[in-house]
Amino acid sequence: MRLVRRIAFVAVAMFGFGFAMVPFYNVFCEWTGLNGKVKGEATATGEYRVDASREITLEFITSLNEGMPLAFRAEKSKLKVHPGQYYTVNFYAENLTDRQLTGQAIPSIAPGLFAEYLKKAECFCFSEQKFEPHRERTMPVRFVVDPKIPEEVRDMTLSYTFFDITDRKPN
């Protein structure tokens, strides 16, 4: 009987640990700046003072989740930006199927410690995107790098992964 109680305790503890992993992971990523998670809403407001003496290279990477039948690319692969100046970069996605698709782009910024300094005023990642069959869409991203970004930051990467949510059931 004692052995059964121990095994049951271990099983309950393992379930509890697995259940708690997601909140612990989110707190850990927020605390350390890992994973480059960004907010899913517009954060760029107001005017910033442009720092023309500094230049940061921003790289754009696009990827598709497995099974997402889109062609997805950025207008530019890299852009040199001055902190405080607003920029717009277009992204293009084409539905390669004969049916309508709905997708959601998930952004990530590297190095993650500096994700808070990339402010987006407009982004296709803020909402679901509908794609008509065999049609290409232009999706702009308007952003600014906060001039308060530390001096040692010279390169950043903004990546988007598109997920197919066509068959997702509404909540």
Mean pLDDT, consecutive 10-residue segments, the chain of 171 residues?
85 75 62 52 71 95 91 96 96 96 92 89 92 96 94 94 82 53
Give dist(CA 81, CA 141) in Å, integer: 14
pTM of the model: 0.75
- The class (CATH top level) of 36-164 is mainly beta
Q: Where are the beta strands (DSSP E) in 15-145?
A: 56-64, 70-74, 78-81, 86-95, 101-110, 118-122, 129-131, 136-145
Model pLDDT, residue 32 = 52
